[in-house]
Amino acid sequence: MTDNHPHLDKQSDDIRKMFAGIAHRYDILNRFLSGWVDTHWRRLTVRLAPPTMVGPLLDVCTGTGDLVLGYQRKYPDRMTIGTDFCREMLHFAHKKALPVQGPKPLFLEADTLGLPFGDNHFALTSVAFGLRNTQNPHLALREMCRVTRPGGRLAVLEFSMPTWPVLGQVYRWYFQTVLPRVGQAFSKSPASAYGYLPQSVKKFPQGQELCSWIREAGWESVTHRPFTMGIATLYTANKPFVG
């Protein structure tokens, strides 16, 4: 499997294995640990980050496919593709797409750091809670830009830490103490994605800093909008027509 992914190094392989270990419980744990708010954030993303032009839609690090399924429901006439390098996560994405009436998203095993698509192909490229997990987010943003059509759109949904003083403290306690324990207990994963989650969110840039990363990767008109008092943030941008 590693041979399919030219960029897959040790760290990426660990990430892939970690998600393979929790794939069977990923959806239910997401719902439970977020109080079902994660589904609301993806719905908001589909509504607030519509494609700016005709053409197919791509969701990278698609996992079990929730965001690409949201885009497919809203834009049933478009071709939609979800990619991820974790086969076990894609297995559940496939299963969820089975009852969908009409055209379904296409799910492909692919590394976000070396997407198997030509330049300027997609009208919109999205990623939800995945950018932070890639081994090289700068390269991931550049790859997403490369495969997007000039004038096309980027949507990045990512966790952030709330800036409100009291809520921030309560949330930090929940996020750093409760969530990893519950997540680990229920997923029965030895390499716990839920222990790693708070650390990775703490280390990952948010707000203006992530906007700068997005600009550096070649995007323009970058915006960010906090959801639910800043627990998650939606970043949008466009690919320039020239340059």
Ligand X SMILES: C[S@@+](CC[C@H](N)C(=O)[O-])C[C@H]1O[C@@H](n2cnc3c(N)ncnc32)[C@H](O)[C@@H]1O
Binding site residues, ligand X, CB under 6 A: 12, 15-16, 19, 61-63, 66-67, 84-86, 89, 111-113, 128-130, 133-134
Q: How far apart are CA 42 and CA 71, in angstroms?
A: 9
- Residue among 19 and 117 whose Cβ is closer to ligand X: 19
CB of 157 to ligand X, least distance (A): 7
Provide, rounded to whole angstroms, the least separation between the CB of residue 234 and ligand X. 12
Q: To the nearest whole angstrom, how small is the minimum distance from the Cβ of residue 191 to ligand X?
A: 13
Non-local (6+) Cβ contacts of 12 within 8 A are 5, 85, 111, 113, 134, 135
Residues 102 and 76 sit within 8 Å (Cβ to Cβ) = yes
Nearer to ligand X, 61 or 154 (CB): 61
Give the nearer residue to ligand X in terms of CB position, either 91 or 151.
Answer: 91
CA distance 148 to 168: 36
> Minimum CB separation from ligand X for residue 212, in Å?
21
Least separation in angstroms between CB 125 and ligand X: 13
Q: Left (φ > 0), alpha (ψ -120 to 50) or beta: where does 95 sit?
A: alpha
Phi-psi region of 61 (alpha: psi -120 to 50; beta: other; left: phi over 0): left
Determine the residue with CB nearest ligand X. Answer: 63
Q: Which is nearer to ligand X, 75 or 85 (CB)?
A: 85
**CB-nearer residue toward ligand X: 15 or 210:** 15
Residue closer to ligand X, measured from CB, 66 or 155: 66
Q: Which residues pair with 58 in a beta bridge?
A: 81, 125
Angstrom distance (rounded) from CA 107 to CA 97: 10
Give the Cα separation of 121 and 150 in Å (integer): 9
CB of 221 to ligand X, least distance (A): 23
